[in-house]
Amino acid sequence: MASTQETSTSIIKSDRAGRTRYSQAYKDEVVASYRQSGMSAAAFAAHCGVKYPTLAAWVAKAKAAGSGRSEWEEDGQRFLLAEIGCGQADVPLKLELPGGVIVHMSSSRQLGLLAELLKVLR
């Protein structure tokens, strides 16, 4: 994540009205870090010290500019819908999510719990 006190060239500036201004490089770095973090936008904005609407605007602008693709889309990876039959023996499942999160499921009975977890992480 970008530091706000890196060099003599300031990343953060204030205008006459007291609004904070950020360099485009800083915005790009924050958006990239947010996408890799796996955190909610509100939590990440608080972590970075910016307001949520500011981060949301940066993410929307980056997406509109064409850089809104996730690392999975860039690698050509997509979500895969897997159907688990009732008559089959339980097979362990490993699910890797963006941000380095790995979920292990040892039983098909945990599928509902996994679905709830994915809803929360969304």
Q: What is the pLDDT along the chain (122 residues), one digit of tens a residue?
A: 554 444 445 566 777 887 888 888 889 889 988 988 888 889 999 988 889 999 999 999 988 887 555 555 555 555 666 666 665 566 788 888 777 778 888 877 777 888 887 777 76
Q: How far is CA 109 from CA 20, 54, 75, 84, 89, in A?
A: 50, 41, 31, 10, 11
Q: What is the reported pLDDT for 3?
A: 45
Q: What is the reported pLDDT for 55?
A: 93
List phi, psi (to 5°) of 53.
-60, -30
Q: What is the reported pLDDT for 112?
A: 81
